[in-house]
Structure 1
Amino acid sequence: MTPTSPTASPGAADTGSAERAWTPVSIYTLAVVTIIYALNFLDRTILSVVLPLIKQDLHLSDTMLGLITGFAFVLLYSGLAVPIARLADRSNRRNILAVGCAVWSAMTVATGLVQNVAQLALSRFLMGAGEAAGIAPSTALLSDRFAARVRPLAMSIMTAGSGVAALVMLPIAGLIAQHHGWRMTYFVAGGIGLAMAALLYLTVPEPARRGGPVTQRTPFAEVWAQLRQLRSFRWICLAGALLAINAYAVLTWTPTFLMRVHDLGPAEAGASFGPIKGFANIVGVIFGGAITAWAARRDTKWLLLVPAIGAAIAMPAEIVFLLSDDLPIAFTGLAIASFAGVIHFGPTYAALAAIVPPSMRATTTAIFLFCVNMVGQIIGPLAIGYLNDRWAGSLGEDAIRYSMILGGICAFLAALILTYAARHLRHDIARYEDATA
């Protein structure tokens, strides 16, 4: 049967050949979801580019900015992710993603209207509620749109959206902020997000679920009981949390680092950090997905060993970036760290999809993201902000140079944990395959 066209009516299900790797519908779906993933990344990280401007405008400390950046955002983001994913495991994932995109984009616009720290915290809080409907429904949707043999690459292309945002969108955000104010940056980003939410709902068909439609929801207690028996899952969660500390520390504080240590302006910081990180992220996630898809066909443990190698490389590269006074050398370290530090994205999601049945994939991803974000988004920005304030008296503007080393240490620990988790992955995949045979 011919796959549903991209212009099919909302709610239409694709009943085309599940085993065709790339079709017009799958490519179109991946493109739209990738752009929305990029906006998901952009809306939460605009704050990093305009942080000094907001600090001056609202008279905030680094510790308070770190608290608002991470803690205020992550409360609803993590708290709602699991129930939304539970809904996505048996409902229309396209619709859930479209509503989520519309909500977080509206809150992005609202952020441009805040007048005090309480309103800024509230806007971040509600933005997190919308973004909770982002990644889990997206990964579940793509898991059914793409066969297992190409799934790591498809997931990596989706997560390359964060690189697209850093490469293209953050520099534009920096320019808008410098010439038109930080508020206008939020208005533009939120408006684009609202348009993409409508495009997703009107043109992207909901794929048929592999194995047939889900007629009965698996109780959460049963999902949790099954996940607890998977040794690889617990270690993947721990490694993901450590990698998230590093990722959110870098995303939140690097533009400020460039302004304080290397005397760049907001536009210069965005125009240098964005393209370097963005291009390296795109290459890194696609390389990670492609090499893992090839290697995992020979041994599934490479779904975690490739990310482990990337995480191990990230630490020394970040130290070069932070400690070098020569800007070209520092940017070289940033590029290598950005490339290596995102290799894990696609393979990790593919590993999670491989150890559970389709009816549990969105919930499994959401539980993973709950663990990752509750640790990473809270500790990463807040710890760096606290250390900046703590060491400012003795180190001055260079305090941020040393506080950000914490992220690199976490990446190296994650590499060790992923290597250990890979020892259990093959057994957990075989356990799922035996249960469904």
Structure 2
Amino acid sequence: MTEIAASSTGKPEVHISVIHDDESEYIDGPRVVAILAVLFLVSLTSQVDRMLPFIMAEAVKSELSLSDAQIGLLTGIAFAVCYTLLSLPLARVSDRGSPRLVIVSCTLVWSAMTALGGVAASFMVLAFTRFGVAFGEAGGTPAGHAIIARKIRPERRGLAIGLFALGIPLGTMVGFAVGGAMSDTLGWRTVLIGAGALGGIIGLLAFVIVGPTPPRKTATTSGEPFLHASVRLLSSLGFRWLFIGAMISGFAAAPFYAFAAPFLMRTHGYSASEAGLAFGLLQGLMGIFGTLIGGRWFDRAARSGTGRVLGPPGILFLIASVTTTVALFVPVPWLSIILLVPAMLSFAFMLPWGFGAAHLVAGKGKEAMATSLVMIGSGLFGPAFGPLIVGMISDAATETGIPNGLALGMLAVPAASALTGVAILVASRRIAASFRNIDIG
């Protein structure tokens, strides 16, 4: 539970304590494995559907005669606005109602809209389908976290969140590597239709495996308005800085994923298959390492009782800002890719730490709300405007004859990574300062 008390400065501080859950809610044995497996598949398909337009951007751009700015709109505003604005109400339903119903419905919606993208004949129609994909994916992560919070014991939740989040880097790997190869051989339209069909099957599988999730009797259902609870959570300096860090990270992650493959293709001469394979495999490996190790490391940090639950990812973002800057201008293709690895790792490593810290500050019964707020921070302004800004800089540089114009635009990635690292380290100190007594056992 989250409690507000006055600090020595007179400003409100959120102090954290945890109410013991009802042990009867938790599951053990093979069913834990089955539920985490199907949640992972949901997360995987969500990320694949999100990443496919990135690796296929050059093919889509050519067939539909689009500019880099329009590609930025497709991968940015067309997705981010709908995705983030709908995440909070869908999180409300997940916390108070049935997260199973939310996650299944959302999976079916985004899968159908992905398939419809395969028949788009214009920029406007394709943008509409991206809005639809965002509409569905908005509820996937909050609902998944709500299921984990209800069914997985607290001492294992960091690892469970890490396993669920593992679908993001592996989905990126599959989207880039497999999507790039299939786009070259079958065409981008066939890839979108096939991905949508696969997602629909996984959505139905989730309905069967997750099982009923009756509403919980927690503070969330006690009558406090959801908006008030959200504002109250944001009154915590620790959570506020976490939110700021998440918001800035969106300006790093979104352009990175939107333009990394086109950068490798234009600057170093890779084909879509080659860029997708190299970038996708490394992203997948870093994702496996980052989310699993990050989840276990976060569990240990939470049990330490110090409240310092964000230091390691903050430091990693600072390192990534330096290596990414060098990667954009080094002339050796393989070295450029290697220098992008710390950025890949930082985005994956942050997931269990960021969501886990948000859950601790929010308290029992508000996990989906905390997840949604972090998603709004990371998913609204950065993905909406980051790719667009990078695309506009690239277009302007190209028109004036500046070589490697896309690399100039992508300098936004290391700049945002550095600011993210600073904000996350401040959040870690603030959370530690207000950390009263967390009992996760």
TM-score, length-scaled by structure 2: 0.89
Cα deviation code 1:281-321 (max 9, x no counterpart): 21112122222222332244332112212211211221232
Please list the CA deviations of residues 335-370 of structure 1 after superposition, one character each: whole Å capped at 9, or x if unmatched. 232123321110111111111232322122212212
Map of 2:171 onto structure 1: 165
5 Å-filtered alignment, 1:5-404, equals 23-207=29-213, 215-396=221-402, 398-404=404-410
Residue 218 to residue 28, structure 1, CA distance change in 2 (3 Å): farther
Once the two structures are TM-superposed, the CA of residue 278 in structure 1 deviates from its matched residue by 1.3
In structure 2, how many angstroms separate the alpha carbons of the residues matched to 1:274 and 1:144? 33
Aligned sequence identity (%):
26
SS in 1 for 2:366: helix
The secondary structure found in structure 1 opposite 2:113 is helix
Contact 1:52-1:256 within 8 A present in 2 as well: yes
Per-residue deviation at 1:418? 1.1
Shift of 1:334: 1.8
Q: Helix, strand or coil: the match of 1:302? A: coil
Give the distance between the partners of 1:227 and 1:220, measured in 2 at CA: 11
C-alpha distance in structure 1 between counterparts of 2:232 and 2:206, whole Å:
33
The structural deviation recorded for 1:39 is 1.2
**How much does 1:211 deviate?**
6.3
The offset of 1:224, in angstroms, is: 2.7
Give the C-alpha shift of residue 65 in structure 1.
1.2
Residues 228/332 of structure 1: CA separation in 2 closer, same or farther (3 Å cut) = closer
SS at match of 1:430: strand
TM-score (norm 1): 0.90
Q: Which amino acid aligns with 1:25?
A: R
CA distance in 2, matches of 1:322, 1:97: 38
The answer (yes or no) to whether the contact 2:55–2:175 under 8 Å persists in 1 is: no
Q: Secondary structure, in 3 states, of the residue corresponding to 2:154?
A: coil
Give the whole-Å Cα distance in 2 for the aligned partners of 1:155 and 1:395: 46
2: CA distance, partners of 1:193 / 1:61: 29
Range 105-114 or range 326-335, more displaced: 326-335
Q: Which amino acid aligns with 1:369?
A: M
Q: Hey, what's the Cα distance between the residues in 1 that align with 2:223 and 2:201?
A: 32
Question: 1: CA distance between counterparts of 2:403 and 2:36?
Answer: 43
Gapped regions of structure 2 (runs ≥ 5): 1-21
For 1:237 and 1:336, the matched residues in 2 are separated by 22
Question: Is the partner of 1:325 in helix, strand or coil?
Answer: coil
Q: How far apart are the structure 1 equivalents of 2:275 and 2:218? A: 49
Alpha-carbon deviation of 1:155? 1.0
1:85 Cα shift? 0.8
Whether the 8 Å CA contact 1:227–1:233 is kept in 2: the answer is: yes
Residue 269 of structure 2: SS of its match in structure 1? coil
Q: Determine the C-alpha separation between the residues in 2 that align with 1:246 and 1:282.
A: 20
